[in-house]
């Protein structure tokens, strides 16, 4: 069996390795792969491991030996699943490995705005406190989370964990979800959630229904000064509409770990003064990536033994 890892850089930039996969067969690991390199590198592959390298119908059809694609992430929109099924290519993903890490990142954003710890640390180091005539000062208004309403869009494992943390802070939690229920509480419509929430956080997959779900129309409903957090998928929001809402003051802040294009070359949101942007790192704690690596290997082992672990095709 020939196994090819196409973009190891994100998952294992030096602190982890794919060495355990060599027990399954010949292993070739590439830190990254340009589009023009994919077919030649995978020509003899039975198994491909990919994080962001897409496999559309044309690419799948050009690889007749390919039997298995392991997506080293939860989202699997990079795979043409109909084409994979038609050509007998099994596809697996890694669900629920990053629940705690992403929920933690969401509250890192929220607490960064609530308490402005980094901002005030910088001001102290720049001498502002030494120059103050008062024993305290603040560079921008601070606020408590208790009593504020958090609206959660999507109630998968991450959305549920975010709800638990918010409840511990004394926040009021509302949510919208087509299927799940939270502690017997009924979901609300997206419009109602946008109207009622002080902070809105997105936790749903990217589909044809959810693409640009946060639009000019939905943003027109938010209360002035609301905060929007996106640690899910960049294209869930219409980024031009978000910029307009920030410039008008309808949105106070946009916090995002994801953008519509990554890296965000020329993306105006990445440098907007009322955004907090991190480079898609909510999933990146070492414990989280180690867990992902273990599930990824277990998925392949299950496939080899005829199992169906985390199989989506």
pLDDT for 13-68, tens place per residue?
Answer: 999 999 999 999 999 999 999 999 999 999 999 999 999 999 999 999 999 999 99
Mean pLDDT on 187-201: 97
**Is the CB of residue 101 less than 8 Å from the CB of residue 312?**
no
- In this prediction, residue 44 carries a pLDDT of 97
pLDDT, mean over the chain: 96
Percentage of the chain surpassing pLDDT 70?
A: 100
Percentage of the chain surpassing pLDDT 90?
A: 94
- In this prediction, residue 142 carries a pLDDT of 97
| The pair of three-digit structure tokens given for residue 27, joined into one six-digit string | 């292993």
**What confidence category does residue 178 fall into, taking pLDDT thresholds of 50, 70 and 90?**
confident
188: pLDDT strictly greater than 90? yes
Q: Between 205 and 136, where is the model more confident?
A: 136
229: pLDDT strictly greater than 90? yes
Q: Between 58 and 266, where is the model more confident?
A: 58
**What confidence category does residue 180 fall into, taking pLDDT thresholds of 50, 70 and 90?**
confident
pLDDT for 250-262, tens place per residue?
Answer: 999 999 999 999 9
- In this prediction, residue 179 carries a pLDDT of 84
Architecture of domain 99-277: 3-Layer(aba) Sandwich (3.40)
CA torsion through residues 222, 224, 230, 235, sign: positive
User: What is the residue extent of each domain of the chain?
Assistant: 2-97+286-304, 99-277
51-81 core/surface letters (b: 16 or more CB in 10 A; e: else): bbbebeeebbeebeebbbbbbbbbbbeebbe
Pair type for strands 199-202 and 149-153: parallel
Task: Write down the pTM of the prediction.
Answer: 0.91
Domain 2-97+286-304 sits in CATH 3.40.50.1100: no
Catalytic residues: 233, 262, 280
Mean pLDDT on 270-276: 96
**What confidence category does residue 147 fall into, taking pLDDT thresholds of 50, 70 and 90?**
very high
Among the listed residues 175, 157, 274, the one whose alpha carbon sits nearest the alpha carbon of residue 227: 274
Q: For residue 250, give every residue at least 6 positions away whose Cβ sits within 8 Å of its Cβ, in sequence order, or none.
A: 219, 220, 222, 224, 225, 226
Beta bridge partners of 202: 153, 230
pLDDT for 110-126, tens place per residue?
Answer: 999 999 999 999 999 99
- In this prediction, residue 290 carries a pLDDT of 97
* Rounded CA separation 156/134 (Å): 47
**What confidence category does residue 183 fall into, taking pLDDT thresholds of 50, 70 and 90?**
confident
**Domains 2-97+286-304 and 99-277 in one fold:** yes
């Amino acid at each position: 069996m020939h196994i090819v890892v196409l973009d190891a850089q994100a998952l294992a930039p030096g602190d982890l390795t794919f060495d355990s996969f060599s027990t399954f067969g010949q292993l070739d690991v590439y830190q990254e792969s340009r589009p023009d390199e994919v077919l030649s590198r995978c020509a003899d592959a039975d198994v491909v491991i990919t994080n962001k390298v897409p496999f559309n119908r044309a690419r799948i059809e050009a690889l007749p030996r390919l039997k298995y694609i392991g997506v080293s992430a939860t989202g699997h929109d990079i795979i043409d699943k109909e084409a994979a099924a038609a050509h007998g290519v099994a596809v697996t993903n890694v669900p629920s490995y990053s629940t705690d890490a992403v929920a933690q990142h969401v509250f890192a954003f929220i607490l960064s705005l609530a308490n402005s710890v980094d901002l005030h640390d910088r001001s102290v180091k720049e001498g502002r406190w030494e120059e103050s005539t008062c024993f305290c000062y603040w560079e921008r208004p601070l606020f408590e989370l208790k009593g504020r309403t958090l609206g959660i869009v999507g109630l998968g494992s991450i959305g549920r964990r975010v709800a638990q943390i918010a409840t511990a802070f004394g926040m009021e939690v509302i949510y919208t979800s087509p299927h799940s229920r939270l502690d017997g509480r009924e979901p609300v419509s997206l419009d109602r959630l946008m109207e009622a929430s002080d902070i809105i956080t997105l936790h749903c997959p990217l589909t044809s229904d959810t693409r640009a779900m946060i639009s000019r129309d939905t943003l027109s409903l938010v209360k002035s000064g609301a905060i929007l957090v996106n640690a899910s998928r960049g294209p869930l929001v219409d980024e031009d509409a978000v910029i307009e809402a920030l410039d008008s003051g309808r949105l106070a802040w946009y916090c995002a770990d994801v953008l519509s294009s990554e890296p965000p070359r020329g993306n105006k949101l990445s440098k907007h003064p009322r955004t907090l942007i991190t480079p898609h790192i909510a999933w990146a704690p070492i414990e989280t990536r180690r867990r992902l690596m273990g599930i990824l290997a277990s998925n392949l082992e299950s496939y080899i033994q005829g199992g169906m672990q985390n199989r989506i095709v």
